[in-house]
Structure formats: structure tokens, C-alpha cells
Amino acid sequence: QKEVEQDPGPLSVPEGAIVSLNCTYSNSAFQYFMWYRQYSRKGPELLMYTYSSGNKEDGRFTAQVDKSSKYISLFIRDSQPSDSATYLCAMRERYSTLTFGKGTMLLVSP
């Protein structure tokens, strides 16, 4: 079992839809949880950064962490074609490096 599981998609939605992206993990020592957005052939761009369980909102983006279920989510409201990209979840222990999921490709059609 991989440490971080993420459905690679692609996930296709119409413009304006609410998008839900998810990752599960097995390492209970993970404390920091991140979502990165990666456009084709570009480097990952940090979207959301959360510590421990709970919700964090930033504009159209909401990140949720449920440590008891080892499950994290990213919600995108009012999705736009410019949101079309690969979304990578990443997590780490306190003094460790990032462990990534494989990424979910999102396609938002006009």
C-alpha cells in the first residue's frame, strides 16, 4: 500500500461546478497537509497549507483534513476553465520531506 493514495482521474466537470478532490494516507505521523496545483509542464504551485485536522478556506478553495480517517479533501467552488490542471496532495511529518499523491487531473469545460 502506497503511503498516499490519490485517484489520477481525469475528472471532468462543467464550468461553475463544485469540485471535490481527495487523498487518503496511511502514515499517522503526517502533521502538515498541502495541496499543489500543477499546470502542464510547469512546477507545482502551492494552493493550500493546513496543519492537523480541520478546515481552511481561501477564496474559492477549501481544504479539509480528517486525521482520524486519514483523509484530506480540496473543494473548489464555482470552478473555472482556468482551474484545469493536475492537483497534487502532499503531506509530511514535522521534520521530514514531502510525500505526494500521484495527482488528479481536473478538466473544467466552458
Partner 1 sequence: DAGVTQSPTHLIKTRGQQVTLRCSPKSGHDTVSWYQQALGQGPQFIFQYYEEEERQRGNFPDRFSGHQFPNYSSELNVNALLLGDSALYLCASSLSAVDTIYFGEGSWLTVV
| 1 touching partner 1, by CB under 8 A | no
| 49 touching partner 1, by CB under 8 A | yes
Q: Among residues 64 and 87, whose Cβ is nearest to partner 1?
A: 87
| 48 touching partner 1, by CB under 8 A | no
Torsion 58-42-9-29 (CA) sign: negative
Q: Among residues 94 and 110, whose Cβ is nearest to partner 1?
A: 94
| 43 touching partner 1, by CB under 8 A | yes
Q: Determine how β-strand 11-14 pairs with β-strand 104-109.
A: parallel
Q: Give the nearest distance from C-beta 15 to partner 1 in angstroms.
A: 26
Number of other residues whose CB lies within 10 A of the CB of residue 4: 21
Burial 81-105 (b: 16+ CB within 10 A, else e): eebbbbbbbbbbeeeeeebbbbbbb
List residues binding partner 1 (CB under 8 A): 4, 6, 8, 34, 36, 41-46, 49, 88, 90, 94-103
